[in-house]
Amino acid sequence: MRKILWTIGLVVVLAVTLTAAFLLVRRSRKPSASGQMQAPPSLANLDEQDVPPLPNVSLEVDTEEELAVFQGTPLIFTARVANQRAANAAFTNRAHETYVALIQEKLAKGEISAAAAQPMLELARQKREIKVVRLGSNEQGWENFLRFEIAIAGSPPTRLTWPLTPVTAPEAKSLALDASSKAQVEYALAPQAAAQIAAGDFEITAVLEVPAATALPQELWRGRVASNPVRLKILPVPAQSSAADQANLNLQRAEFFSTTKDWSNALASALAALAADPNLIRAQMIVGESKEAQGDLSGARDAFATAEQLFYEQYPKSYERPQYLIYKLATLDERLESPPAAPAPTAGSGQASPPR
């Protein structure tokens, strides 16, 4: 379900972006008191060229920004870095391009004069600089400057000392963040470690800090940025948990083990979640992913088909189709229909194996 929601979220973000651009153009179409076109507000803020580049850091725990879990629930911390100022500048430049096309269209139709269009075109053709943020080096990767802080009940934040372990190594130690690039790292709080964390309400923040005196090339960014806090509530395990609690706990464990690619435990936890609640779409998806990773393609297809059926039952009016499930079913069908590859001939046999 997480992948489905991610796809839906991406579509929503795209729709919002296009709507914002449309409204910007609509505002630019309104005539001023003199009957001339007005420039969009973004064209009046080119003095932001002097603003230095700045990275952004965000944090999610189990893909959420606010969540409640029982003691002993394993967790995945996902920290991402990006360059929002560069993304904003790129968006503004695209809006300017739209405005230039609009001016040229009105000029071609004779709705404005060449004399009136010229200064507007000169202004609209100005571009904001896309300033790149450079982080890390091959000797000191950017992830070495990332840490987590924790605050309890309004107290000042302190460094998080929970025993987190990296899930995967960063794709690159050195980053050049432009308008579209980003990077992330994931850390795991294993079940045994999670069981040692006391119950309570916490705010956890990701901090990226490169001290000014750090021995790094001068072109690399230095400073401190922090994410919005993730609100995490850890609850004591009840003496007698309900079926819903059991389903939720096992699903969270299944998510953890699927992220760390411990497919045996992921499958066992997902099946336990389904035993408590057979309607969990995400649990069926993890069953499918686990069985596929273990080579049981037929069992994986059955699980994904059940997940697809549950989706349509639970979201009959959804405008979005479960694209991830559709993709998995199609690829599994293709793999199941294809004959297995013939084994390579053994050394010295002198001939290939006969076709099946």
Mean pLDDT computed over every residue of the chain: 84
Give the model's confidence band at 340: pLDDT under 50 very low, under 70 low, under 90 confident, else very high.
Answer: low
Cβ-proximal residues to 247 (8 Å cutoff; 6+ apart), any chain? 273, 274, 276, 277, 280, 283
76 token code pair: 């995945």
Give the model's confidence band at 294: pLDDT under 50 very low, under 70 low, under 90 confident, else very high.
Answer: very high
Domains in the chain: ranges and CATH: 31-235 (2.60.40.10), 243-337 (1.25.40.10)
pLDDT of residue 50: 67
**Using CA atoms, how far apart are residues 37 and 135, in angstroms rounded to an integer?**
43
Query: Cα 45 to chain center, whole Å?
Result: 30
**Using CA atoms, how far apart are residues 298 and 236, in angstroms rounded to an integer?**
40
pLDDT of residue 214: 82
Query: Cα 65 to chain center, whole Å?
Result: 12
Q: In this model, does residue 92 exceed pLDDT 80?
A: yes
Highest-confidence range of 24-28, 39-43, 322-326, by mean pLDDT?
Answer: 322-326
User: Residues 183-219: pLDDT tens digits?
Assistant: 999 999 999 999 999 999 999 999 999 998 888 888 9
Q: How many helices (H) and strands (E) does the chain have?
A: 9, 12
Q: In this model, does residue 355 exceed pLDDT 50?
A: no
Instruction: Give which of 95, 49, 88, 79 is closest to 178, Cα–Cα.
Output: 88
Radius of gyration of the chain (CA): 27
User: Residues 212-229: pLDDT tens digits?
Assistant: 888 888 899 999 999 999
